[in-house]
Structure 1
């Protein structure tokens, strides 16, 4: 069967500044730079973000290589810690302005649409130490100021912006599950940070609409949607999945698209004594600054069931786990390198959910992919990585995405995570995701079998 995609469909991949650029000429440290400096052993093989995939130095060759495998679009991010010299005044670093200008120009020269994100887990450590980071509404104001500088500097050429990548992961990693610095367990702070990130996104959008450069541009947000499927149709399991969906998906999706938080969520937070601090003016600002398009990262579903073990609030205080437990579906398919469930059917469910419940807003798959450990084992005699498993993974997800598009969901693109194997937080280079492999020792980059396959998909606008 021929799967043909809409005209002008985006084919490409996504990375981020902190995961690709390296720390060359960067004056400030992000929370991850700082964490690596103080605790390198927390990162796989003690590999940090200092070099990453050397994009700061090799962006010209890298972008040409991406174009050679069929990309017509490419997402990366600007690093707040690279661009801004003084966080209070938003004065800029000249070298960073040069680098981002040259990189954006090179992207366009290669016939690729640059999609630029403003925040990819890389909060400046100074703003955490001074104000508590996203716990502070002052940091929200500073982010809006930084956003405006980006729009004014680069918005004449960048016509697709996103405010945040996976804001719920900031909440989970920093305040619940301890996989982002400062590794706290504090549900009350997690709830406030969730609100502040929504507010920061809305303020950034407000600045976008005020910038002269943005008149013909569009702005969105990138959310990792993990549909929360209940174990059964029992009342208890359905209630568990309803709360999990509200907390992990809708707490950012609803305000971004609809302008308000999901019904019933604030009532639960009030009842439990963890409600965020807000003003009516802020809610109005969120309502009036919704997105133009949505980026959806999808890797795995969330499967939940009713709580079966008594939740002990005396141990860690309030946590969202009070309302659901994770459930491992029997017979599930798994990527053994991450222990993540492979469930491409969710791509269709996401498409239909956006169509029916979120104004059928224009959206694209901003990340999807498969991390594999030890890929160098799968080389042919010419040294090319034979990643047929990645081709199969992407094909299955595209098939279900295509079905959603056929049924009216307004999806305009597909980006893999990631173009070139990139540095991935605590995992560093343990799992590889790219169409292009990176030899860490030599920085030599080689196209994998999946890259050549993707070129054909892009050229045929389908498969």
Structure 2
């Protein structure tokens, strides 16, 4: 019989995850071009009122920003100044004992407009310095090629990922960084949360809703181009860095039916197919699933393909699946079901779960469920590359920061990871989001803090930028030292 005392394997990759547009700052230094993320404006709760949070941006809004008719604050331009403080931050990660650090490369640092032939040497040199610093502490870099940003020019001039020409530009960018960092980076991810192309077309695919006729049609076409670009990137890396591992990345969500009504169960199945499995079916199995072909037919969606696209998708599949996990979702076919506003994917309130301060339903057991479902379906290694709790943190008079709520959240999720490993899931690593306070992806605020490290900065960029260790810093260090055994 299988040993049921399985725990985290030797060499398990513990660490933390970030994104360039949320930490780097220096948005206009050393030749960097504007990115789509640089156009996302912060709105306070007072300014937003009852309107839901959105980080979608239209072409009209971009024109106002570029013509200086918008005097708003753009936090993803200043980040937390990692660009100048990376040595200090990496030293803190090393103090916690990180085995791996997930970061992204800002495409617009390497190709400021996205369509150049020659790269920006200053941008390449910056990441050389970051990777050298990580190597100094024996921290492996896990690099995302596209994390919720692309050169703004590709959105304005080409229409984002809906334009097939962007495939070649992305592959050229990927091959450029593969060749430059082939001896420094062995773990890669193509697109962060690739399902965002449908849920947030501007953020995930550079689509400007006011410049297309049918956003859903444009989003699916853009997604197809990302699938092809991702597969061609796999083809390239196997030639340039044969010993590298490259994966896809999914914003994973477990979806429960509200009742045992068969209609609710069917609705749950359809939503999970469209929210989760579609993307990994294409990128890991290598073909479009039949359930999506029916969806396209019933919704008048036509995917324009080139003759070799299907064979490219089939031949160049992913080595592993990486995923973010924050919450579960309940779906109901009843029109009067009580909704939850905070969840990324909407859904019905689950009476058995607590919520974060931002209304995200906290469900550690669902992490075990989704890990089992993904592994049973694909039988490839899994890597949790985002999981964490956004919360308000307070500095005490003595400089300490107590965040037991964060420790409790992470402890319960790590316990369920261990249970999934006992279930037989091949889990290779865990990078919490984000190990240092950073700009929120959804709200562009600083007060929604995730880190083990506190950064003295407010929503408007004011503050000393000093770094402070939170209580969770010391707790996570102990977790890593014990390879997940000491969670007290």
**TM exceeding 0.5:** yes
Q: What's 2:329 paired with?
A: 302
Q: Is the 8 A contact 2:234 2:317 kept in 1?
A: yes
Determine if the alignment matches structure 1 residue 341 to structure 2 residue 361.
yes
Determine if the alignment matches structure 1 residue 82 to structure 2 residue 109.
yes
> CA 1:288–1:307 in structure 2 vs 1: closer, same or farther (change >3 Å)?
farther
Determine if the alignment matches structure 1 residue 409 to structure 2 residue 425.
yes
CA displacement 1:342-367 (0-9 Å, x = unmatched): 000111112211221112x1111100
Q: Is the 8 A contact 1:385 1:448 kept in 2?
A: yes
Deviation, structure 1 residue 239: 2.0
Deviation, structure 1 residue 52: 0.8
Deviation, structure 1 residue 194: 2.2
Determine if the alignment matches structure 1 residue 456 to structure 2 residue 456.
no
Determine if the alignment matches structure 1 residue 400 to structure 2 residue 421.
no
Q: Is the 8 A contact 1:53 1:423 kept in 2?
A: yes
> CA 1:259–1:46 in structure 2 vs 1: closer, same or farther (change >3 Å)?
same
2:464 to 425, 429, 442: 442
- In 1, Cα distance between the equivalents of 2:73 and 2:410? 30
CA displacement 1:353-401 (0-9 Å, x = unmatched): 1221112x1111100000013x12xx34431211100000000001111
CA displacement 1:308-365 (0-9 Å, x = unmatched): 48xxxxxxxxxxxxxx9832222421112x1010000111112211221112x11111
Q: Is the 8 A contact 1:3 1:399 kept in 2?
A: no
Q: What's 2:349 paired with?
A: 328
Q: Is the 8 A contact 2:375 2:382 kept in 1?
A: no
Q: TM-score, normalised by structure 2?
A: 0.85
1:12 to 10, 15, 36: 15
Deviation, structure 1 residue 74: 0.2
CA displacement 1:393-422 (0-9 Å, x = unmatched): 000001111001011100011111012111
- In 1, Cα distance between the equivalents of 2:221 and 2:146? 18
When the two chains are superposed, the root-mean-square deviation of aligned CA atoms in Å is 2.6
> CA 1:325–1:403 in structure 2 vs 1: closer, same or farther (change >3 Å)?
closer
Q: How many residues align?
A: 440
Q: Is the 8 A contact 2:254 2:367 kept in 1?
A: no
Q: What's 2:32 paired with?
A: 27
Q: Is the 8 A contact 1:32 1:181 kept in 2?
A: no
Q: Is the 8 A contact 2:32 2:110 kept in 1?
A: no
> CA 1:183–1:435 in structure 2 vs 1: closer, same or farther (change >3 Å)?
farther
Q: Is the 8 A contact 1:306 1:325 kept in 2?
A: no
Q: What's 2:75 paired with?
A: 48
Q: Is the 8 A contact 2:390 2:448 kept in 1?
A: yes
Q: What's 1:423 paired with?
A: 439
Deviation, structure 1 residue 26: 4.3
Q: What's 1:164 paired with?
A: 191
- In 2, Cα distance between the equivalents of 1:252 and 1:407? 24
- In 2, Cα distance between the equivalents of 1:229 and 1:124? 38
CA displacement 1:280-300 (0-9 Å, x = unmatched): 410111111111112110001
Deviation, structure 1 residue 152: 0.6
1:65 to 63, 86, 92: 92
Tell me, what secondary structure is at the counterpart of 2:326?
A: coil
Q: What's 1:368 paired with?
A: 387
- In 1, Cα distance between the equivalents of 2:271 and 2:96? 38
> CA 1:289–1:125 in structure 2 vs 1: closer, same or farther (change >3 Å)?
same
- In 2, Cα distance between the equivalents of 1:142 and 1:243? 34
- In 2, Cα distance between the equivalents of 1:325 and 1:233? 20
Structure 1 unmatched ranges of 5 or more: 310-323
> CA 1:51–1:86 in structure 2 vs 1: closer, same or farther (change >3 Å)?
closer
Structure 2 unmatched ranges of 5 or more: 42-61, 337-344, 458-462
Tell me, what secondary structure is at the counterpart of 1:385?
A: coil
Once the two structures are overlaid, the 10-residue window that deviates more, 255-264 or 93-102, is 255-264
Determine if the alignment matches structure 1 residue 355 to structure 2 residue 375.
yes
Q: What's 1:390 paired with?
A: 406
Deviation, structure 1 residue 252: 1.1
1:182 to 196, 200, 208: 208
Q: Is the 8 A contact 1:47 1:429 kept in 2?
A: no
- In 2, Cα distance between the equivalents of 1:305 and 1:26? 50
